[in-house]
Structure 1
Amino acid sequence: MTYVRNAWYVAGWAQELKADTPFAITILGERIVIWRTASGAIHALEDRCVHRLAPLSLGRCEGERLRCMYHGLLFDPDGRVVEMPGQDRIPPQARVRHYPVIARHSWLWVWMGDPARADESLIPPAVGLDHPDYILGHGQLDYAAEARLINDNLLDFSHLTFVHANSFGAGPQFAETPARITPLDRGIRYERWTENSIGTASRRSPEPMDSFMTYDFLIPGVLLMTGGVFPLGTARECDFGTPDYDRAVSGVTFTSQAVTPMAGKTARYFFSWGPHRSHGDAALRDMLMGIAGQAFDEDKVMIEAQQQVIDMTPDPQVMPTVHDRGVTLFNRLVEKLAREERTEMLAAAE
């Protein structure tokens, strides 16, 4: 499947990266080693020694450098070999690829494309675990499925009515009525009002009110969602647009989710979720994370089974429905950006 390379992919949780302890992950089929030095600097290199192809993730941190612990080659953070034990001359080709890497919003972001194009302003504005306004839990899941299938799942919430009837307690409105979908420069925006409802398991209200939810789904596969429960009539008062969250009665939460393609048909799914401090506490956070754990397991079962059917189907084709507008817009954007990347690479090679 097609993925954009000039983008920031989530590689892990920043707070879990211990100093002087190399961490390995595969993104878009490329093995990467990430390490944090005692000074706090974070570096990322191709996870492959130039000598015997041993993984540098089994290496030893030495200041800002990383030593391969097979035969002792020492690498600078830019990927150059600066020391070969027993050999004075170091060949100029003795280097591995360097990846731009940044810790932000509690995630480690790795730029998988042209390093010269790495643009920090393209990091999606997720909400980190240390955000002062939210009380967040977090987790991750590994999938035996293509990342794009997970993206498609997150771009079409009509499945909530069926896949998550037990966990989220989603009503029929998700399948019966399409949401408002708006194209963005690097993604899509989803918005849905549900009028005169007691809400779902995660946004339950004691009496009928208006519930709002919205998310941006951004390149390369990052979902940022919020919403809340409002007094009856709020949806019409704001013409079904974005409400004033100060008027929310309850249910204001935030979830940041990221899908990272790994090797072959495998992907890693990162997520955090919790209430705004004005609308909940640690106990509510834990309840929400319990619901999320059940719901994301439901997704995992369905998507991995879907991958198996696709793998066994000659020339698999999908038949879009009215709910696929977000899926279609996002995948067209991915294909457009990937096509532009290929064109630029071909032009640079000429």
Structure 2
Amino acid sequence: MHYARNTWYVAAWTADLDMSKPTGLRILGERIVLFRTESGKLVALEDRCVHRLAPLSLGRCEGERLRCMYHGILFDSDGAVSEIPGQDVIPRDAKVRAYPVVDRHGWVWVWMGDPALAYEATIPATIGTDNPDYLMGHGFLDYDCAAHLISENLLDFSHIGYVHADSFPQGDQMAKTHADIRPIDQGIRYRRWVENLASDAAGFPAEPLDHYMEYDYVIPGILMMHIAGFPLGTAKSLEFGSPDLANAVRDLTFTGQAVTPIDEHTTRYFFCYGMHRDFGTEQMIEPMMQLVRKAFAEDKVMIEAQQKVIDETPDPRMIPTSHDRSITMYNRMLDKMIRDETERQAVA
């Protein structure tokens, strides 16, 4: 699989996990089991017992350990076997892989590469469901497609007026104008103004405002986006530069999204969306989530259909347009990261 490994992948929403029992999932084709110990420690292990390869996600949490419920073998949080019922001697290699794992911003992050390089400081500084300043809803979708197709969708918003013609009112403005796109560490920053937009964050008609959108998209597929409304004329007065979000007059929203490859053909797409408390109420969350769920379902239909055409095309050559600049920039960074990892492995 052509993916970066020395990076943090989103494995789950913390709020969706039943930490009283283990949870099985896959990232980059690898089976992983998550559980929380009695003391509260979050653990991620290879989801495969050393004995008969039964899934540990069907096991039982016992204090600080996890017991395989096929033949009762007990695993410590570092993956080492600590007990084999009916056997005193434990083989030295009776151990499964332990993955670095962190609970942050309402997401569970798992490091898929070299554990020695797993610095928590490199987890993107996003706004999550646990942020007290935002009223957030969250969810996820599973796509029958390669992860890079979802990333490319998120890196080129010229599709909004067409794929989301029934959901968002911008029309073809996103396709007829270009955003300011620049490289940042591990990704790209995308900035755009939409002038005289007469709708609110939930898609309902509202007083026209100039709307500003800014997002970072960073490896391995994390989007962090603010949108805010400003008085008409603000875009021009700032010469289409970046505003101070503290001066927003309506619809200061944030969305965090994460693209996690389950395997080569399946991807889990995590998302949260919410309004700053200064501009919204709890009652606004569900209408806003209905809008984004509808929009993401529209993306899913298109991208899964695209994947089928790619699979059926012997030479799936694509002709780029001027809107592909951010895709090209991001893919070059990702390809370089993968090449560097491959070279380090070859030297080792």
Alignment TM-score > 0.5, same fold: yes
Contact 1:18 1:36 in 2 (8 A): no
**Any idea what SS the aligned residue of 2:139 has?**
strand
Q: Deviations over 1:236-255 (max 9, x none)?
A: 33232221223212111000
Task: Provide the rounded CA distance (Å) in 1 between the counterparts of 2:297 and 2:112.
Answer: 28
Task: Provide the rounded CA distance (Å) in 1 between the counterparts of 2:228 and 2:298.
Answer: 24
Question: Counterparts in 2 of 1:1-350, with a 5 A limit?
Answer: 2-199=2-199, 202=202, 206-348=206-348
Contact 1:66 1:77 in 2 (8 A): yes
Contact 1:202 1:251 in 2 (8 A): no
Task: Provide the rounded CA distance (Å) in 1 between the counterparts of 2:40 and 2:241.
Answer: 43
Contact 2:167 2:203 in 1 (8 A): no
Q: Deviations over 1:133-161 (max 9, x none)?
A: 11011111011111111111001000001
Contact 2:170 2:197 in 1 (8 A): no
Deviation at 1:96, TM superposition (A): 0.9
- Between the two proteins, what is the percent identity of the paired residues? 57
Deviation at 1:185, TM superposition (A): 1.2
Task: Provide the rounded CA distance (Å) in 2 between the counterparts of 1:209 and 1:42.
Answer: 45
Return closer, same or farther for 1:205/1:189 CA change in 2, 3 Å cut-off: farther
> Which moved further from structure 2: 303-312 or 195-204?
195-204
**Any idea what SS the aligned residue of 1:135 has?**
strand
Task: Provide the rounded CA distance (Å) in 1 between the counterparts of 2:66 and 2:255.
Answer: 35
**Any idea what SS the aligned residue of 1:208 has?**
strand
Normalised TM-score (structure 2): 0.97
Task: Provide the rounded CA distance (Å) in 1 between the counterparts of 2:50 and 2:135.
Answer: 44
Task: Provide the rounded CA distance (Å) in 2 between the counterparts of 1:254 and 1:5.
Answer: 27
Contact 1:144 1:267 in 2 (8 A): yes
Contact 1:47 1:55 in 2 (8 A): yes
Return closer, same or farther for 1:201/1:42 CA change in 2, 3 Å cut-off: closer
Normalised TM-score (structure 1): 0.96
